[in-house]
Structure 1
Amino acid sequence: MNLRVFPSPEATAQAAAEAFAGAAREAAQARGAFHVALSGGSTPKLMYRSLREMTDVPWEFVHVYFSDERSVGPDNSESNFRLAHDELLRHVPIPKPQIHRMEGERRPLEEAASAYAALLPERLDVVLLGMGDDGHTASLFPGTAALTAGGRVAANWVPRLDTGRLTFTYDEINAARERWLLVTGAGKAGVLRQVTAGEVDYPVAGVRDPVWFVDEAAAGELTR
């Protein structure tokens, strides 16, 4: 298990930002582009704030995608794209044609999923992910159809939330060169312990060989 534990959410985010910069430099040198899928959530938000202050990211080589999106437009406060835009993308010199958002406002969502799958690169370098208190990741929620979906992107109805989502499938997540899970807070500690021990089949357990960036609060039950 590739587990990296840091003292606080801020330190976790900073470490992930530094790893992002390093991966971007390596990909740019090796392949001429860095294809990364971003995520929503509080820890990625902190990471975005760290990234925009860094001077060693080759932004001209960065191509941005998203691992999931709510069924809203880009200006909606719930939009993962809006979070990334407000906290990172508008602050850094990424060429606009290299930013690819999911069309959460498009109906039916199945058309949005197909359209997004068609514009993805052959292989992503890094997929950033979080983990919910219920063990979901991206918008792969417990008991939902997308857990067994094929292809690269799925439209997923989430009954508990009474809404649809767009999400990468496991196939797409696990095809990336690297998968990073950013998890902070004591509220995630029990789920993290169960997932790492293989005790419960949470959706996040379907992510193969991830790098875990976690804070001490989230890791608090791992030594028990």
Structure 2
Amino acid sequence: MRQQIFATPEKLAQAAAREFAQLARASVGSRGAFHVALSGGSTPKLLYCALRELDVPWSEVSIYFSDERCVPPDSPDSNYKLALDELLSRVPVPAGQVFRLQGELDPHEAAARYQQQLPGQLDLVLLGLGDDGHTASLFPDTAALSAAGRVVANFVPQLDAWRLSFTFDEINSARERWLLVTGAAKAGVVRDVQQEAGSHPVELVRDARWFLDESAAQNLHP
């Protein structure tokens, strides 16, 4: 487990933002573009705020999303809306280079359409972590944990709702995978990942970089 530990969620977000900007510049320099998948949640919101202040080659950045709720794009529950409000409407990324998951469509149709919009390989997938060990919208005991392909419509009985999500194959095919995790509620799952307990969906993410605040890291062994 490759982890970096920061004193607060804000310091974590600032460090991740600096590395995001550096990776974007390197990707544009070597391949002419930077393809990144964003995620939802409170920690990415802090990241988005930090990114607004940095030198990122936004004209060469293409934005995707690792998962989405099945809601319209103007819903307060939409990961796209969060990214739009906190980042995309505040930086000069071309609108034609932002590819959202269409949560307002039939979930299976939305998943099929999104597969056609993805690039050959993503440079970076940003991920979060749920208290139950899920990442993206790959929840425990759901069919999507073993789904093939790149994007899947996943019914989550715990929520009685459909979600759209990258598959683990898609996540693991990216050049880099970052997990941004904050809060004491995640500490038990983080410890299980370190111990390779094999009991949480997030453990299917391979060779990820973990950005942790001290609360999330409190149960790790030295």
Residues 123-151 of structure 1 show CA distances to partners (whole Å, capped at 9, x for unaligned) of 00000000000000000000000001000
Q: Structure 2 CA distance, aligned partners of 1:157 and 1:15?
A: 35
Identity of aligned residues (%): 61
Q: Structure 2 CA distance, aligned partners of 1:190 and 1:102?
A: 31
Q: Structure 1 CA distance, aligned partners of 2:108 and 2:43?
A: 29
Q: Structure 1 CA distance, aligned partners of 2:194 and 2:162?
A: 29
Aligned to 1:97: 96
Does 2:112 align with 1:114?
yes
Aligned to 2:85: 86
Q: Structure 2 CA distance, aligned partners of 1:223 and 1:7?
A: 17
Question: What's the secondary structure of 2:92's corresponding residue?
Answer: coil
State the shift of 1:53 in Å: 1.5
Question: What's the secondary structure of 2:30's corresponding residue?
Answer: helix
Aligned to 2:32: 32
Q: TM-score, normalised by structure 1?
A: 0.98
The alignment of Structure 1 onto Structure 2 pairs a total of residues equal to 222
Q: Please show how residues 53-68 of structure 1 align to structure 2 within 5 Å.
A: 53-54=53-54, 56-68=55-67
State the shift of 1:11 in Å: 0.5
State the shift of 1:199 in Å: 1.6
Does 2:151 align with 1:153?
yes
Question: What's the secondary structure of 1:173's corresponding residue?
Answer: helix
Instruction: Give the residue type in structure 1 aligned to 2:63.
Output: V
State the shift of 1:2 in Å: 1.4
Q: Structure 1 CA distance, aligned partners of 2:166 and 2:19?
A: 22
Q: Structure 1 CA distance, aligned partners of 2:75 and 2:40?
A: 13
Q: Structure 2 CA distance, aligned partners of 1:35 and 1:147?
A: 24
Aligned to 1:205: 203
Question: What's the secondary structure of 1:182's corresponding residue?
Answer: strand
Q: TM-score, normalised by structure 2?
A: 0.99
Aligned to 1:181: 179
Aligned to 2:141: 143
Question: What's the secondary structure of 1:40's corresponding residue?
Answer: coil
State the shift of 1:200 in Å: 3.7
Aligned to 1:3: 3
Q: Structure 2 CA distance, aligned partners of 1:163 and 1:196?
A: 30
Q: Which runs of 5+ in 1 are unaligned?
A: none
Question: What's the secondary structure of 1:161's corresponding residue?
Answer: coil
Does 2:75 align with 1:71?
no
Aligned to 1:134: 132
Does 2:164 align with 1:170?
no
Q: Structure 1 CA distance, aligned partners of 2:214 and 2:134?
A: 20
Q: Structure 1 CA distance, aligned partners of 2:198 and 2:30?
A: 39
Residues 160-204 of structure 1 show CA distances to partners (whole Å, capped at 9, x for unaligned) of 000000000001000000000000011111110011111242000
Q: Which runs of 5+ in 2 are unaligned?
A: none
State the shift of 1:223 in Å: 2.7
